[in-house]
């Protein structure tokens, strides 16, 4: 039983059960993919990931924790200054199930305030910790002017899979309109820490492979906007 639980914990993506009422993939006639990062900013890993993104010449979407933006405002600011999109990942990464409407609103707006003070940008995209939100909570979040964003392709990089596994897996599974989940902070049981060596190594390799197949990398906002535009001739 323990082995079964561990395998489910490591390999099963609970987000597939929670996608109703969220954006998790944006079907498009164009070959577009959005890469996202959760749990940062981190003084250790975010700068290295920013360097990898700059090397690959792509922009990504960072779903920040308000508490981490307060702790590391200079790192948060550098994400914005590099031209990446900023999203809200709650204030302190508590699972939000069973929150009252008032508590949920306070959690999100407290995070927004901290992130905006650090980056100079308000947030309009929200990703719940662990993907968990009830349908009612999703409606509350939408009422605050947020779009709830999950993902269609999970790197599971917090497990610290080797890039020799991650790169071919993501290359094989990627489809147009995917939103890919990575992390720039967070351990198996903590919201901060973890080891992102393999994430840093994976990014430029995946970008190179998918570009060779005709994919273009965009932010979540750009991916959403593409679905509202007529296809190019």
C-beta separation of 96 from 132 below 8 A = yes
What is the reported pLDDT for 12?
56
What is the reported pLDDT for 158?
84
Domain limits, the chain: 21-226
The catalytic position among 13, 38, 89, 136 is 38
The catalytic position among 89, 157, 183, 184 is 183
**What is the Cβ-side half-sphere exposure of residue 201, based on CA atoms within 13 angstroms?**
14
DSSP state for residue 100 in the 8-state scheme: -
Nearest to 182 by CA among 56, 53, 21, 68: 53
Say what the pTM is: 0.92
pLDDT per position in the chain (233 positions), as tens?
A: 533 333 334 455 878 889 999 999 998 789 999 999 999 999 999 999 999 999 999 999 999 999 999 999 999 999 999 999 999 999 999 999 889 999 999 999 999 999 999 999 999 999 999 999 999 999 999 999 999 999 999 998 988 788 999 999 999 999 999 999 999 998 877 888 899 999 999 999 999 999 999 999 999 999 999 987 544 43
To the query of whether residue 84 is one of the catalytic residues in this protein, the response is no
pLDDT, tens digit (0-9, with 9 covering 90-100), for 46-94 = 999 999 999 999 999 999 999 999 999 999 999 999 999 999 999 999 9
Q: What is the Cα 225 distance to its own chain's centre?
A: 18
Measured between its terminal Cα atoms, the distance across the chain in Å is: 55
Domain 21-226: give its CATH code: 3.20.20.370
What is the reported pLDDT for 8?
38
To the query of whether residue 183 is one of the catalytic residues in this protein, the response is yes
The CA distance from 20 to 50, in Å, is 32
Angle between helices 73-81 and 101-119 (to 10 degrees): 70
């Amino acid at each position: 039983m323990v082995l079964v639980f561990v395998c489910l914990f490591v390999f099963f993506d609970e987000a597939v059960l929670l996608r109703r009422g969220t954006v998790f993939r944006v079907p498009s006639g164009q070959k577009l993919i959005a890469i996202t990062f959760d749990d940062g900013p981190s003084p250790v890993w975010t700068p290295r990931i920013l360097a990898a993104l700059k090397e690959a010449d792509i922009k990504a979407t960072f779903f920040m924790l308000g508490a981490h933006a307060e702790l590391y405002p200079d790192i948060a600011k550098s994400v914005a200054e590099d031209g990446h999109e900023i999203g809200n990942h709650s204030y302190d990464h508590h699972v939000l199930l069973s929150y009252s409407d008032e508590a949920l609103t306070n959690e999100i707006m407290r995070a927004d305030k901290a992130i905006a003070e650090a980056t100079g940008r308000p947030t309009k995209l929200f990703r719940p910790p662990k993907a968990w939100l009830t349908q009612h909570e999703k409606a509350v979040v939408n009422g605050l002017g947020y779009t709830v964003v999950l993902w269609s392709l999970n790197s599971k990089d917090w497990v610290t899979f080797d890039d020799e596994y991650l790169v071919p897996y993501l290359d094989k599974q990627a489809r147009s309109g995917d939103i890919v989940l990575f992390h720039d902070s967070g351990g198996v049981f903590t919201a901060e820490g973890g080891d992102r060596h393999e994430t840093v190594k994976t990014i430029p390799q995946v970008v190179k492979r998918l570009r060779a197949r005709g994919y273009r990398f965009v932010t979540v906002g750009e991916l959403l906007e593409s679905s509202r535009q007529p296809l190019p001739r």
